[in-house]
A and B are shown apart, each in its own frame.
Chain A
């Protein structure tokens, strides 16, 4: 059974940094691209980052480019999202999701809440 478990939830001040983790199990992690998606309170879904299976390519939404960094450690079956210069508009539930063949998102974690507020 595919499982994705995020951690790193918390409340931080504007301008600060935070790092999220997503531990994967139930599939060969090193064979699949992985994504981060977020959802602001009472809003829709926003794709924010993708990393290829071998970390050879990384892609970001314009809203986070230059501030967020996606990475992975295939030896630990873990995906990361490092978030810098956080803004109030980054307040959201953050989900990690496994990439399906072709680029869709086939399995999602339960999400972690990030709140940016003074």
Chain B
């Protein structure tokens, strides 16, 4: 399964509601996770099984979707959220999307 993330680069301001998209080439059956990677750091799990928030992750992060289309939403952008975000499917094999880099406008 191939994953396509859009946009590849997103400019936003602190306080904005931000939506990142991930589209699979086949049905992912909700087996989709989201990771945040800050510069020079290892990725960190934010969301698993489409909409389950990992322990310790702020509630401003949420996930949704079904079938082939999935979304990560940050309800109110904080400066510390600037990072690259990757989706990851584990329904059929294991595949990452190409990433969305989130920068300050």
Contacts and interface: CB of A to CB of B under 8 A. Distances in A.
Contact of A104 (B42, B45, B97, B98): B45
Interface in A36-87: 37, 44-47, 50, 59
Nearest to A6: B42
B44 interface: yes
A6 B94 CA distance: 21
A47 B86 CA distance: 12
A107 B44 CA distance: 7
Contact of A47 (B45, B54, B96): B96
A103 B48 CA distance: 10
A105 B42 contact: no
A106 B95 contact: no
A105 B49 contact: no
A44 B42 contact: no
Given A44-B97, A45-B86, A50-B94, 14 more contacts: A44-B86, A44-B98, A45-B96, A45-B99, A47-B96, A59-B93, A102-B48, A103-B31, A105-B35, A105-B45, A106-B45, A106-B48, A108-B42, A111-B42
